[in-house]
Structure 1
Amino acid sequence: MFDTKIAFIVLDDLLVWQKLNVVSFLATGIASAYPEIMGAPYIDSLGRCYANMSGQPMLIFEADLSGLQNAHRKGLERELTLVPYVHAMFSTGHDEANRQVFLAEDPNNMNLVGLAICGSKKVVDKAIKGLSLHK
Structure 2
Amino acid sequence: MTTEHTPAPAPQPASEAAAPVRFDSKIAVLLREDLEPWQRLNVTAFLVSGLGTEAPEVIGEPCADADGTPYLPMFRQPVLVFEGGKETLTAAHGRALSRSLPRSVFTSDLFATGNDRDNRAAVRAVPKDDLDVVGIAVYGPKNAVDKVLKGARMHP
2:140 is matched with which residue? 119
Does 2:68 align with 1:47?
A: yes
- Hey, what's the Cα distance between the residues in 1 that align with 2:130 and 2:138? 17
- Hey, what's the Cα distance between the residues in 2 that align with 1:81 and 1:51? 22
Q: Is the 8 A contact 2:62 2:71 kept in 1?
A: yes
1:56 is matched with which residue? 77
Structure 1, unpaired ranges of 5+: none
- Hey, what's the Cα distance between the residues in 1 that align with 2:65 and 2:149? 37
Give the aligned length: 135
1:104 is matched with which residue? 125
TM-align CA RMSD: 1.1
Larger relative contact order (CA 8 Å, sep ≥ 6): 1
1:15 is matched with which residue? 36
- Hey, what's the Cα distance between the residues in 2 that align with 1:130 and 1:90? 25
Shift of 1:121: 0.9
Moved over 3 A (4+): none
Counterpart amino acid of 1:134?
Answer: H
> Which structure shows the higher helix fraction?
1
TM-score under structure 2 length normalisation: 0.82
Q: Is the 8 A contact 2:55 2:102 kept in 1?
A: no
1:79 is matched with which residue? 100
2:45 is matched with which residue? 24
- Hey, what's the Cα distance between the residues in 2 that align with 1:106 and 1:3? 33
Q: Give per-residue Cα distances to partners, 1:73-95, cap 9 Å, x unaligned.
A: 11111221121110001101111
Shift of 1:106: 2.9
Structure 2, unpaired ranges of 5+: 1-21
Q: Answer with 1 or 2: which has the greater Rg.
A: 2
1:4 is matched with which residue? 25
Counterpart amino acid of 1:57?
Answer: P
- Hey, what's the Cα distance between the residues in 1 that align with 2:151 and 2:36? 23
**Identity rate, percent:** 39
- Hey, what's the Cα distance between the residues in 2 that align with 1:114 and 1:124? 15
Q: Give per-residue Cα distances to partners, 1:50-73, cap 9 Å, x unaligned.
A: 111111111000011111000011
TM-score under structure 1 length normalisation: 0.95
Q: Is the 8 A contact 1:69 1:109 kept in 2?
A: no
